[in-house]
Amino acid sequence: MSTTSHHVPDRLQSSLQRRLKSWESLLLVVAVAIFLANSFASPYFLNAWNLSDATFNFTEKAMIAFAMALLIISGEIDLSVASIIALASTAMGAAVQFGADTPTLVAVGLGVGLLAGAFNGFLVTGLGLPSIVVTIGTMSLFRGIAYIVLGDQAYRGYPESFAFFGQGYVWWVISFEFVLFAIVAVIYGVVLHKTNFGRAIFAIGNNPTGALFSGIRVSRVKFILFLLTGLMAGVAAICLTSRLGSTRPSIAVGWELEVVTMVVLGGVNILGGSGSIPGVVIAAFVMGLVTFGLGLLNVPGIVMSIVIGALLISVIALPRLWSYWRRG
């Protein structure tokens, strides 16, 4: 009796220590530090409306990052997500020229996202091609189609009701996009961490052959993940197009880099097999705070992309350096 009473607190203590030592805890500390630094650096930072605006810096990218996290954990990657946004946005713009209403536009955006995801998924799981090569190809293909259709023109004239997705507020300073981001985060968190499908994703990422022999339909799971990634790019296209109120072929250029950075910064192993949705959520806030803070200080966009590139390299290098240091 006395031994069990000793063991339970020990076990709780060790799980608490594990949590405190986790990557997510470290990220949380970084997020708080950046928040404090921003509030000292700019007098405008702590304004509620400004903070609400800051969420637009990451909500659309983060929604894609949740699906991308599952894909990367399974050992694949999709670098065409930003080009899917361009393609979906162009399709919605074309639909507007034919007098499409808001529900139709949403259906077009989601449909194009799903089709693009299915195309990637078929090439990778159906033909057995490497996802990095396939999605670099479709990245050029999808964006190229947008450029052929639009050239240097832009689609405008979206219906007024369509503006709600990217500009609407649900309550006070809480935007519709932020609410959608929170709902999507919960759904993906439950799928990855609480379902058999989530367990299958981890199994595939750790050992695809072993997963296949244990009865997991590896190709089907991966195909679904490509579909989800395409679908989330479609959702992001709807929000972004609605927020900008127009479509250009250069929409969302460079977003694939930021989405992958968000996923890897969130603690997802770029080689697959491990990661968590809470980590990606915190990483989204960190990146949003960094870009918003730099924006308030009038730092030019090119410097922001240098920061994001450096962040990606250091996040991938840190675990390696850490393990060398511990062995040394």
**Per residue in 196-255, pLDDT tens?**
999 999 999 999 999 999 999 999 999 999 999 999 999 999 999 999 999 999 999 999
Evaluate whether residue 95 is within a structural domain. Answer: yes
* Residue 223, domain extent: 24-320
Query: C-alpha 283: how far from its chain's center?
Result: 10
Q: Is the pLDDT of residue 2 over 70?
A: no
Instruction: Report the SS3 class of residue 11.
Output: helix
Amino acid of residue 224: I
Contact 66, 181 (CB under 8 A): no
Q: Is 211 a member of any domain?
A: yes
188 part of a folded domain: yes
pTM of the model: 0.92
Q: Name the 3-class secondary structure at 54.
A: helix
Lowest mean pLDDT among 124-128, 231-235, 265-269, 298-302: 298-302
Query: CA-to-CA distance for 52 and 59, rounded, in angstroms?
Result: 11
Indicate if the pLDDT at residue 305 is higher than 90.
no
Alpha-carbon span 1 to 275, nearest angstrom: 38
Q: What is the pLDDT of residue 13?
A: 63
CA dist., res. 289 & res. 33, Å (int): 10
Partnered with residue 174 across adjacent β-strands are 171
Residue 6: pLDDT band (50, 70, 90) is very low
Quick check: 117 and 226 in contact, CB under 8 A? Answer: yes
Give the N- to C-terminal CA distance of the chain in Å, as an integer.
43
**pLDDT (0 to 100) of residue 10:** 64
Residue 5 has pLDDT above 60, yes or no: no
What is the average pLDDT across 116-132? 97
Give the count of domains, the chain: 1
In a domain, 7, yes or no: no
| 8-state DSSP, 170 | E
Tell me if 162 sits within 8 A of 93, measured CB to CB. no
* 130 Cβ neighbours under 8 A, 6+ residues apart: 124
Sign of the Cα torsion 9, 15, 18, 19 reads negative
- Residue 254 in any domain: the answer is yes
Q: pLDDT tens digit string along 168-195?
A: 999 989 999 999 999 999 999 999 999 9
The H or E element containing residue 199 is helix 196-206
Among 124-128, 260-264, 311-315, where is mean pLDDT lowest? 311-315
- CB-hemisphere CA count at 13 Å for 165? 21
By residue count, the chain amounts to 328
Looking at every residue in the chain, the average pLDDT score rounds to 92
pLDDT, position 259: 97
Q: Is the pLDDT of residue 1 over 60?
A: no
Instruction: Identify whether 16 is part of a domain.
Output: no
Q: What angle do CA 321, 61, 25 make, to 5 degrees?
A: 45
Torsion, Cα of 243, 90, 112, 197 (10° steps): -40
Kindly state the average pLDDT of the residues 96-125: 97
Cα distance between residue 139 and residue 256, in whole Å: 9
Q: How far apart are the C-alpha atoms of 120 and 227, rounded to whole Å?
A: 8
Weakest-pLDDT range from 57-66, 140-149, 298-307? 298-307
pLDDT band at 20; cut points 50, 70, 90: low
Residue 132's CB is within 10 A of a number of other CB atoms, namely 13
Q: Tens digits of per-residue pLDDT, 63-104?
A: 999 999 999 999 999 999 999 999 999 999 999 999 999 999
Q: Is residue 14 included in any domain, yes or no?
A: no
Q: Are 63 and 243 in contact (CB under 8 A)?
A: no
Cα–Cα nearest to 101, from 25, 18, 160, 33: 160
Specify the 3-state DSSP secondary structure of 10: helix
Residue 10 covered by a domain: no
Q: Please give the share of the chain, as a percent, with pLDDT higher than 70.
A: 95
Question: What CATH number did the domain enclosing 194 receive?
Answer: 1.10.3470.10
